[in-house]
C-alpha cells in the first residue's frame, strides 16, 4: 500500500486565498494524503471556508488555536498530529503543482534529511518567473549556512522533523531557513531538485506580507547565527557577519572583496561598487 503523506497548512485571516492552496493539495495525483490545517485564531470566515472544504474531502483535518500563537507554533500543531510517514508544508497563499508529491516520492532515499525543489513565482496576471537549478544536486548542511537554497517548503520523513522538535517557536523571521539548517545538520545531506513543483504567489495587498516584519532581515540573520552557533562554528559565524553587513549596506570594500571571494559570487562586490559610485 502507498505510504501516507501529511500536508500541513497554517493560516490566519486568509479566507480568500486559502481555498486555492487547499484545492491544490486535494488535486494531487498522489492520492494517499491527509491535509492538516491549523487556523491561528482567524477572525474572518476562515473556519466556515474550511468546514465547507471538509465536506468535499474527508482527508482534511482542522485544528484551531484559541489565541494567535504564530506560524511556528501552528506548524508544530500539524506536525505533532500528522499520521503520515512523510510530511511537507504548503503556505496558505501558494499552491502545489499536481505532480509535486509524486516527484518527491520518486526521488526519495532514506539517507536524505529532506528534498527541496525549484518553484515558480507568479505576480498577479502579468508575469511568471521560473527559478531553475540546472541539475539535481546533493548538498550538506553547509550549503544552507549563508543562503536558504531549500526555499520555504521541503519534503521529509515525519519522524525526522519531529526529532528536531519541528519549528522553533522563538523564531519570528527566517523560520524555514532555521528549520532546514537544523534538519540537514542533524539528519544528513539533502537533495535539491531542478523540477519546479511549487507555485509562490505574490498577489498580496499592500498591508499584507509573506513573512513576519517583526524584526529586520539583518536582525533575523544575527539571531539565526546566535541560535545555531554550534552549527556555524567560529569560522563560519565570523563569515556570517559579512552577509549581515552586506544586507545592512555597511560592508567595507575590503570586506566585500573577501565575501565575494568566499562565496565565489561577484555580485556582492558589484553591488558594493554601485553603492559607492551611485551607478
Same domain, 139 and 261: no
Where a domain ends, among 177, 201, 225?
Answer: 201
The reply to whether 178 falls in a domain is: yes
CB 194, CB 136: distance < 8 Å: yes
Does the residue 212 lie in any domain? Answer: no
5-11 vs 33-39, strand pairing mode: parallel
Pair (192, 74) in one structural domain: yes
70 and 108 in a single domain? The answer is yes
- Compute the mean pLDDT over every residue in the chain, rounded to the nearest whole number: 89
Residue 241 falls inside a structural domain: yes
> Which pLDDT score is estimated for 260?
65
185 and 151, same domain (yes or no): yes
CATH of the domain at 14: 3.90.550.10
Q: Are residues 169 and 32 in the same domain?
A: yes
Q: 147, 175, 201 — which closes off a domain?
A: 201
Q: Kindly state whether residue 211 falls inside one of the protein's structural domains.
A: no
- Indicate whether 246 and 196 sit together in one domain: no
> Do residue 12 and residue 142 come from a single domain?
yes
Residues 121 and 32 in one domain: yes
Per-residue model confidence as pLDDT tens digits over 148-181: 999 999 999 999 999 999 999 999 999 999 999 9
Do 143 and 268 share a structural domain? Answer: no
Give me the domain span that covers residue 230.
217-277
Contact 115, 43 (CB under 8 A): no
- The confidence band for 20, taking pLDDT boundaries of 50, 70 and 90, is very high
Q: How many domains does the chain have?
A: 2
**Whose grid coordinates read 510530511?**
87
Residues 242 and 111 in one domain: no
pLDDT in tens, 208-244: 544 444 459 999 999 999 999 999 999 999 889 988 8
In a domain, 209, yes or no: no
In a domain, 82, yes or no: yes
CA distances from 104 to 30, 87, 111, 147, 193 (A): 11, 11, 14, 22, 9
Q: Are residues 253 and 134 in the same domain?
A: no
Among 145, 169, 201, the domain boundary falls at 201
Identify whether residues 141 and 258 lie together within a single domain.
Answer: no
Asked, for residue 94, whether it belongs to a domain, the answer is yes
Q: Is position 208 within any domain?
A: no
Q: Which residue has the cell 528534498?
A: 115
* Residue 202 host element (H or E): none
Which tens digit of pLDDT belongs to each residue from 101-135?
999 999 999 999 999 999 998 887 654 655 556 67
Amino acid at each position: 500500500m502507498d505510504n501516507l503523506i501529511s500536508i500541513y497548512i497554517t493560516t490566519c485571516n486568509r479566507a480568500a486565498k486559502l481555498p486555492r492552496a487547499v484545492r491544490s493539495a486535494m488535486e494531487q495525483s498522489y492520492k494517499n494524503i491527509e491535509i492538516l490545517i491549523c487556523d491561528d485564531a482567524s477572525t474572518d470566515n476562515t473556519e466556515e471556508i474550511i468546514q465547507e472544504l471538509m465536506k468535499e474531502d474527508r482527508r482534511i483535518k482542522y485544528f484551531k488555536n484559541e489565541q494567535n500563537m504564530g506560524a511556528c507554533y501552528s506548524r508544530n500543531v500539524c506536525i505533532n498530529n500528522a499520521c503520515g510517514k512523510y510530511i511537507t508544508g504548503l503556505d496558505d497563499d501558494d499552491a502545489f503543482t499536481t505532480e509535486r508529491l509524486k516527484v518527491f516520492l520518486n526521488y526519495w532515499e532514506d539517507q536524505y534529511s529532506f528534498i527541496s525543489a525549484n518553484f515558480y513565482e507568479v505576480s498577479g496576471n502579468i508575469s511568471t518567473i521560473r527559478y531553475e537549478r540546472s541539475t539535481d544536486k546533493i548538498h550538506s548542511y553547509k550549503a544552507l549556512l549563508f543562503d536558504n537554497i531549500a526555499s520555504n517548503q521541503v519534503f521529509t520523513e515525519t519522524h525526522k522533523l519531529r526529532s528536531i522538535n519541528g519549528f522553533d517557536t522563538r523564531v519570528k523571521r527566517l523560520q524555514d531557513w532555521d528549520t532546514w539548517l537544523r534538519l540537514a545538520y542533524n539528519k544528513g545531506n539533502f537533495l535539491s531538485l531542478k523540477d519546479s513543483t511549487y507555485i509562490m504567489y505574490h498577489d498580496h495587498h499592500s498591508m499584507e506580507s509573506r513573512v513576519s516584519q517583526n524584526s529586520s532581515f539583518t536582525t533575523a540573520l544575527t539571531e539565526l547565527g546566535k541560535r545555531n552557533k554550534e552549527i556555524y562554528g567560529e569560522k563560519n559565524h565570523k563569515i556570517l557577519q559579512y552577509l549581515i553587513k552586506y544586507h545592512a549596506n555597511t560592508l567595507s570594500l575590503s570586506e566585500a572583496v573577501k565575501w565575494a571571494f568566499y562565496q565565489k559570487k561577484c555580485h556582492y562586490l558589484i553591488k558594493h561598487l554601485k553603492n559607492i559610485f551611485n551607478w
